[in-house]
Chains A and B, each alone.
Chain A
Amino acid sequence: MSGLILCRDKSVTHPYYVKELGLHLYTGEELCYFIYHNIPLINEDFLDESLFEFLNQLGEEKLTARAQRLKEQAGLFDVLYLLLQELHYFTAAELFSFRRQLEELSSASYCWRMKAKGDYLFECGQFYHAIRVYEHVLEQNDKELSDQEFVAKIWHNKGCCNARLEIFDEAMYCMDKAYQLSRRTELLEKMFVLSELGGGAIPKAAEDVITAAMLKQFRTNLEDHKKLALFTGKALEAASVRDLDAEKQEEAYRTLLARWKDDYRRNQG
């Protein structure tokens, strides 16, 4: 293989906006990459007018017409496959693997797919979006929701999103719901941590289960996590700026802060 893919010349004046990730797509290649790597995020709403308008802007009028026809006759996954196939960004092997992903997804229930979307948004740091998706799943009247373990996972994940947003009391509520459904002991530790962070008292039913030995272990783990936190994530990024020369430091702090602000704004959904 040559190693180079010639880009299409067309540039768009109105990029396609992916609201879940808060980013704009400007080219056919970016659209292909987004579809391939973010398939859990994509549902029927994706095939809206703005997508077809975007494809038209790329000079893909024929492809747009075919995609619109296929949307009526077949469904979401066939249209996605058509787009990837016709925009020639991926190789035949990559398309084959994508086809298999689609097949797996098409055999899954609606609630399972939405949970996968919520999980994916969580991984992308889109906590508000993820919460909305989890709430949407919990409102469904699907047989999947009779599986208590499945529902417990959704409450747990929603709790994690709230914790990441530092809404600790709401996080505690979610974890308690998850615990009531699954009775998993690791949830007790999470509730302990939330209470330490200001999420209020651990609900009585859960508190009664925590033994003195468990409490001691939870405390030790929390201290270890606090120590580790000094050398990971944002603390690590800030530390790397501290090592710079004084003259470069101010600019670097400014850049870092601007990026954190951008991330935060994007995560607000």
Chain B
Amino acid sequence: MGLILGIDLCDSFSQISVYSPEKKAPEPLLLGGAESNGLISTTLCKVRGQDSWLIGTEAYQRALMGEGTMVDKLVKLLMRDTSATIEGVQYSAVQLMAAFITQLIRLPKIIYKEEEIDGIAFGLRQLDPDLLDRLTEACDLCGLDRKKVRFLSHTECFAYYVASQPKDLWPNTAAAFDLTEAGLDYFEMQVIRGRRPQILQAAREPLDEAFDLDLLETPMGERMADTILSACADRKLQKKLVSSVFLTGEGFISVDFAKEFLKKVCNKRKVFSGQHLFADGAALIAYDGTLPESAFPYLCICEGRLASTISLYALQDGKNEQLILASAGSNWYESKASAEFILDDVHTLELMVTPFATQRVETISLSLDELPARPNKTTRIQLIVSFSSESRVTVRVIDKGFGEIFPASGIVIRKDFLIS
């Protein structure tokens, strides 16, 4: 069996967890030295005069010694689609990310003595469509099979991670604080019972109180950070039935500075501090993706997942059936539906949007008046439904004509909709 990897890919640090089929749990990839906590600096260094790349602490060290050129903030670079020139050669952000990922996945390959990768999931703070497109390109350059690669939000990784823990840790709400260079995020997850399958609803909230981690370098700064975090804990956890709180991110490598904050969060709750929450969650999802059918018993509604089902009615083998184009709970980036229909005396396409927890049905309509006039039932259309976020759906209708009897005009009707 090949490797199943979960990678938490952030601008400052990245982490890898490897799913162990024997233990039926992910295990963090811990390296020696400065990276013994599993945090690998998202930094790339090209060794001077050689076609070799280094990552992490080694990249820093070699660059400091003047033996290579360093590039960091690789995720931001990819988001902006900029480039970097090293030794007179221009490298695109995609190429740099590909070089980083190649070196990153080399680590578990060496440690586990396994070259094959069966599944790989990347956990990201934000799921931006452009970022995901470029990451897909980067993964292609690394030779990763697209079918085996998934991109997930931190929220989803958090939900999967918590759901893999004993149920007594999350009878009510589970929460998490993620303190990194990029900011301070608060996560919440609860189960909506009384439905089959049960729904895991999770959300992320970037908190305005985020601070620079340099603040933790002085005692006074530590006290200030503790005060800020305490205020956040008061605001987010008060009057809520929170069973457990997870603290993660490089800001929580040590929690000694946050005495007041800990007092507040530990009040009648179980509190865990660790660095692999998102990578572990990603590894669990990567493993689930390798199964013929998902073993995850919940419908997950969170950032990166659709909160509504999109469907339409059409005649299938003579019967009027509801056809699901995208299901609530599916990953929007992977949700792309395409189907072909014959128009039978219809001038407007109507799609039904059904939010997951309600019986309410909204309708989105697309006029087909632009299509060429032809006899009834002689226009074949290709309907493509795709997403650029959880709430933004693009509907495209392509005129396919009717074979050689009525050739296709190539007309494309496109409209973007905001859905709940």
Residues of A bordering B, CB below 8 Å? 1-7, 9, 15, 23-27, 29-30, 33-34, 88-89
Contacts and interface: CB of A to CB of B under 8 A. Distances in A.
A2 B405 contact: no
Contacts, number: 74
A34 B404 CA distance: 11
A5 B314 contact: yes
Q: Which 4 A-B pairs have the closest CB atoms?
A: A3-B346, A4-B314, A7-B340, A88-B318
A2 B320 contact: yes
Interface in B377-418: 377-378, 380, 402-405
A29 B315 contact: no
Q: Is the interface of B mostly helix, strand, loop or mixed?
A: strand
Given A23-B404, A26-B403, A3 B345 contact: yes
Nearest to A15: B403
Nearest to A27: B403
A96 to B, nearest CB: 14
A61 B318 CA distance: 19
16 contacts: A2-B346, A3-B343, A4-B312, A4-B315, A4-B341, A4-B343, A5-B315, A5-B341, A7-B340, A23-B405, A24-B404, A26-B403, A29-B342, A29-B402, A33-B378, A88-B317
Given A4-B342, A4-B343, A7-B341, A34 B405 contact: yes
Interface in B163-191: none
Contact of A6 (B316, B345, B405): B316
Indicate the size class of the contact surface on chain B: 20 to 34
Interface in B353-399: 377-378, 380
A25 B403 CA distance: 6
Interface of B: 312-318, 320-321, 323, 339-346, 349, 377-378, 380, 402-405
Nearest to A94: B377
Contacts of B313: 2, 4
A3 B339 contact: no
Contacts of B349: 4
Contacts of A3: 343-346
B314 A2 contact: yes
Given A4-B341, A7-B342, A27-B403, 12 more contacts: A2-B344, A2-B346, A4-B344, A5-B344, A5-B377, A6-B323, A6-B341, A7-B340, A27-B380, A29-B377, A88-B315, A88-B318
B309 to A, nearest CB: 17
A5 B321 CA distance: 10
A115 B177 CA distance: 84
A22 B312 CA distance: 37
B342 A89 contact: yes
Contacts of B314: 2, 4-6
Contacts of B323: 6
Nearest to A3: B346
A15 B403 CA distance: 10
B186 to A, nearest CB: 44
A6 B339 contact: yes
Contact of B315 (A6, A25, A27): A6
Nearest to A25: B403
Contact of A24 (B317, B340, B346, B403): B403
Nearest to A34: B405
Contacts of B344: 1-5
B346 A4 contact: yes
A25 B406 CA distance: 11
Given A24-B403, A33-B402, A1 B380 contact: no
Contacts of B317: 88
Nearest to B341: A4
Nearest to B378: A33
Contacts of B342: 4-5, 7, 29, 89
A24 B402 CA distance: 11
Contacts of B403: 15, 23-27, 30
A141 B317 CA distance: 45
Contacts of A23: 403-405
Nearest to A31: B403
A9 B316 CA distance: 12
Contacts of A4: 312-315, 341-344, 346, 349
A26 B405 CA distance: 10
Contacts of B402: 29-30, 33
A24 B313 CA distance: 30
